[in-house]
């Protein structure tokens, strides 16, 4: 568990309007700001949102991004029609507008909160959004390179690795489009509409096409054994990719899991005590805040003008090297991956404060200048900063390895 964050504040704001209940949790502030998605669900607690906000703090700290972690949650009444939903979202945006307009909290997309939902929230805060980046595409990019790194770390038998995808949504679709069926086959998959197991497996790219065509209902069309959705979590596979809700891997499930590795698509899938059980079984467990970071890390590059082909190259080389370094250190030392990433978070937290402790006028001046610089200059600067961050992380991992 990472040590206490000097920027930790744990600010919770709750509000209730016509047809909804909402809350924002700011776990930490860095450089006077925080960011995190808006989760929309009919089953959501403030404790879950607080855990997700903490996960965002860990994500930003691990990759040296100068912002704190936050999250928002919305419970919308199922009786609301489409217009009623957007009216509730606008009202929620109006109520949290002091946080948004003050720069303390930047809402983003998350579960059930897509571009149109996000536009309504910002519109309520008095802000009209321009182009909204599809963060699920970039999240799929970082998941893919973590999967490739896991495949290298696991002993091979010459057969395709068997995958289970619990919650095959838009990120899983983008991931599946990248997978080579000669190296990977998905033998267990679930959506909100059901779950299916197949010993012979499914072609990942075919599943991606079916998802686009039929949505969550595509699982009903698959040939295989229809099972309960929870059964996918304990399927006989090499790598499990949990992609639904917080804390889906309980202590009880952890004891029954036969998998060799767990690669989260969703944030915070491990319930209290489950990681210790999995570590005792020598299961390779990646933290979600490392594997799904593409949603913020790559999309930030894209928003600053770095092209998708160049982002692909940066992640295939530099980001993947960071992941491989961490996995090699874990295998060599026998330490859990989550312990290593937690130590990296702590090291960054200790060293970052003077660098980011800028006054509000200085921050506003920097943003004013950045908006007026040519896009090509901003893209070059973004690339330089990305490479510097990744080099700093790799150097820290190397020092940890030399001390082990």
The closest alpha carbon to 344, from 293, 294, 399, 265, belongs to 399
Does residue 361 have a pLDDT over 70? no
CA–CA separation, 270 vs 276, rounded Å? 10
Query: Range with the lowest mean pLDDT among 196-205, 252-261, 367-376?
Result: 367-376
Which runs of E-coded beta strand occur in 90-160?
A: 105-108
**Total Cβ atoms within 10 A of residue 154:** 16
pLDDT score, position 351? 53
CA–CA separation, 102 vs 54, rounded Å? 21
**Total Cβ atoms within 10 A of residue 402:** 7
CA–CA separation, 61 vs 130, rounded Å? 28
Does residue 362 have a pLDDT over 70? no
Give the pLDDT confidence of 296-323 residue by residue, as tens digits.
999 999 999 999 999 999 999 999 999 9
Give the pLDDT confidence of 254-298 residue by residue, as tens digits.
999 999 999 999 999 999 999 999 999 999 999 999 999 999 999
Does residue 370 have a pLDDT over 50? yes
Enumerate long-range contacts of 378-387, CB under 8 Å, 24 or more apart: 378/304, 378/305, 379/301, 379/304, 379/305, 379/306, 379/307, 381/304, 382/300, 382/301, 382/304, 382/305, 382/306, 383/301, 383/306, 383/310, 383/314, 386/297, 386/301, 386/314, 386/318, 387/314, 387/318
Mind listing the domains of the chain with CATH numbers? 8-132 (3.40.50.10860), 137-294 (3.40.50.720)
Give the pLDDT confidence of 150-165 residue by residue, as tens digits.
999 998 788 899 999 9
Give the pLDDT confidence of 326-349 residue by residue, as tens digits.
999 999 999 999 999 999 999 887
pLDDT score, position 6? 64
Through-space distance between the first and last CA atoms of the chain, rounded to whole angstroms:
19
- pLDDT band for 3, please (50, 70, 90 cuts): low
CA–CA separation, 367 vs 57, rounded Å? 22
**Total Cβ atoms within 10 A of residue 151:** 16
- Rg for the chain, CA atoms, rounded: 21
pTM score, whole prediction: 0.92
Does residue 366 have a pLDDT over 70? no
Q: Look at the block and give the residue holding tokens 């929309």.
A: 40
Strand order of the β-sheet with 68-76 is 8-17, 20-28, 68-76, 34-40, 105-108
- pLDDT band for 1, please (50, 70, 90 cuts): low
What the block records as the tokens of 291 is 């594997």
Give the pLDDT confidence of 49-92 residue by residue, as tens digits.
999 999 999 999 999 999 999 999 999 988 899 999 999 999 99
Does residue 133 have a pLDDT over 90? no
Give me the percent of the chain exceeding a pLDDT of 90. Answer: 77
């Amino acid at each position: 568990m990472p040590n206490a964050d000097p920027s930790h504040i744990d600010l919770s704001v709750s509000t209730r309007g016509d047809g909804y209940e909402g809350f924002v949790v700011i776990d930490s502030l860095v450089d006077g700001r925080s960011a995190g998605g808006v989760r929309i669900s009919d089953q959501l607690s403030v404790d879950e949102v607080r855990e997700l906000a903490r996960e965002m703090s860990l994500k930003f700290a691990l990759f040296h991004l100068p912002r704190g972690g936050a999250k928002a949650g919305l419970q919308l009444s199922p009786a609301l029609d489409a217009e009623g939903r957007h009216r509730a979202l606008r009202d929620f945006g109006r109520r949290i507008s002091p946080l948004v307009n003050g720069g303390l909290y930047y809402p983003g997309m998350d579960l059930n909160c897509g571009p149109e939902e996000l536009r309504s929230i910002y519109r309520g805060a008095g802000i009209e959004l321009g182009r909204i980046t599809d963060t699920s595409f970039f999240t799929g990019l970082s998941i893919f390179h973590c999967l490739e790194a896991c495949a290298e770390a696991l002993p091979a038998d010459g057969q395709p690795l068997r995958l289970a995808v619990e919650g095959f949504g838009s990120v899983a679709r983008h991931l599946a489009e990248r997978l080579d069926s000669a190296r990977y086959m998905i033998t267990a998959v679930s959506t909100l509409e059901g779950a299916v197991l197949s010993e012979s497996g499914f072609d990942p790219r075919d599943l991606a096409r079916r998802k686009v065509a039929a949505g969550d209902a595509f699982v009903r069309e698959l040939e295989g054994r229809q099972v309960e959705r929870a059964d996918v979590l304990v399927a006989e596979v090499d790598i499990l990719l949990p992609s639904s809700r917080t804390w889906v891997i309980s202590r009880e499930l952890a004891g029954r899991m036969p998998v060799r590795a767990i690669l989260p698509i969703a944030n915070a899938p491990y319930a209290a005590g489950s990681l210790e059980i999995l570590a005792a079984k020598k299961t390779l467990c990646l933290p979600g805040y490392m594997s799904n970071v593409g949603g913020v890390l790559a999309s930030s590059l894209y928003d600053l003008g770095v092209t998708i082909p160049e982002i692909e190259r940066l992640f295939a080389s530099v980001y993947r090297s960071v992941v491989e370094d961490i996995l090699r250190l874990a295998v060599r030392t026998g330490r859990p991956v989550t312990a290593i990433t937690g130590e990296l978070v702590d090291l960054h937290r200790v060293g970052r404060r003077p660098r980011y402790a800028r006054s509000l006028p200085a921050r506003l001046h920097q943003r004013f200048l950045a908006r007026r610089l040519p896009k090509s200059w901003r893209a070059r600067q973004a690339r330089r900063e990305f490479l510097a961050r990744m080099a700093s992380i790799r150097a820290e991992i190397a020092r940890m390895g030399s001390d082990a």
